[in-house]
Amino acid sequence: MLSSGPRSEAATLTNPRRMSAQIISGRVIGEHIRAELRERIAALKAEGVTPGLATVLVGANPASQMYVGMKNKAAQEMGLHSRQINLAPDIDEAELLGMVAGLNADPGIHGILVQLPLPGHVDEGLVLETIHPSKDVDGFHPMNVGRLATDSGDFFAPCTPAGVVEMLLRSGHDPAGKHVVVVGRSNLVGRPLASLLLRKGRGGDATVTVCHSRTEDLGAVTRAADILVVAMGRPESITADMVRPGAVVIDVGTHRVDDPHAEKGYRVCGDVLFDEVKDVAGAITPSPGGVGPMTITMLLANTVTSAERALEGRRN
């Protein structure tokens, strides 16, 4: 299990730029976690086990190609066995399911990631259910979702929500006993994050409110948060007047918006109006450089954990 480190480490896990709010850097925290993972990977290799991650890419969606490339590069840099499988966009669903079944049976593969979205003729739910729960390092299999929701047994949490929890812990903002408001109820972020925060023990024990598109007077709810996590999918929608002074703000959003004044004609921003909110919040994540880098780090962490569980299973 990843350790949160002492509270005094918070200053070393943040960007030192001088602003009114503490800047919580996903890049810095992610590297701290990867240093821990390198030790665990070395221990596994000493036992003859190299954690293996297989990524399956169907078609040639440019964004998906970029994401898969980043994941494989990160795995290789960490010394993992990385296998990328590129499939034609018109692949038969049965053939894709057979490919996943083969990875399930491969003892050298400990984590399987099928990059979404898939072509319209493929049932995404069926594909995700075909991945064995013990290798579902994305945390999307119904068994992992159910175990997370009920806080029972071994499971893998989706990487972005798990990364948010690690960011809070490692920057000195333990959510235990705090009122956490999560804006967004998606199955990718909002729902699993709420489940993680409600669990007993490390990273949990929070009081959680989940907001969504039908929430009335959203600002009144967000202003009540000790910790505000925003995953609403709308650029710069959370403004300074919606944040309680001193609150911790975690911005999950990443958007490319047109900006004629920018060199490339666009700029990247989050769901939070950073330049305003940083002057009100006690701590805040930037976008980019905040939650994004944590997602791949937690994918690596889940893969290493899967390899450790497999080794323990062989011993027993």
Spans of all domains in the chain: 7-26+157-295, 50-149
Give 297's contacts (C-beta < 8 A, 6+ positions apart). 30, 33, 34, 74, 163
CATH top class, domain 50-149: alpha beta
Residue 16 pLDDT grade (very low, low, confident, very high; cuts 50, 70, 90): very low
7-26+157-295 and 50-149 in the same fold: yes
Largest Cα–Cα distance in the chain?
62
What is the tens place of the pLDDT at every residue in 94-117? 999 999 999 999 999 999 999 999
CA distance linking residue 282 with residue 98, whole number of Å: 50
Q: For 280-284, what is the mean pLDDT?
A: 98
Q: Which helix (H) or strand (E) holds 82?
A: strand 81-87
- Tokens 């945390």, residue? 139
List the structure tokens of 96. Answer: 């894709």
- pLDDT at position 287: 92
Is pLDDT at 4 greater than 60 in this prediction?
no
Q: For 189-209, what is the mean pLDDT?
A: 97
More confident residue, 259 or 8: 259
- pLDDT at position 8: 38
- pLDDT at position 292: 92
Is pLDDT at 141 greater than 90 in this prediction?
yes
Pick the CATH number of 7-26+157-295 from 3.40.50.1260, 2.60.40.10, 3.40.50.720, 3.40.50.300: 3.40.50.720
Give 276's contacts (C-beta < 8 A, 6+ positions apart). 239, 240
How many beta carbons lie within 10 A of that of residue 261, not counting itself? Answer: 6
Residue 20 pLDDT grade (very low, low, confident, very high; cuts 50, 70, 90): confident
Angle, in degrees to the nearest 10, between helices 292-315 and 62-77: 50
What does the radius of gyration of the chain's CA atoms come to, in whole angstroms?
A: 20
Contact 42, 51 (CB under 8 A): no
Rounded to 5°, the CA angle 252-253-257 comes to: 160
Is pLDDT at 7 greater than 90 in this prediction?
no
Instruction: Look up residue 267 and give its DSSP letter.
Output: E
List the structure tokens of 216. Answer: 């009335």
Catalytic residues: 71, 115, 138
Residue 76 pLDDT grade (very low, low, confident, very high; cuts 50, 70, 90): very high
Instruction: Look up residue 6 and give its DSSP letter.
Output: -
Contact 57, 113 (CB under 8 A): no
- Tokens 């009081």, residue? 207
C-alpha closest to that of 279 among 245, 255, 250, 230: 245
C-alpha closest to that of 225 among 180, 175, 190, 193: 180
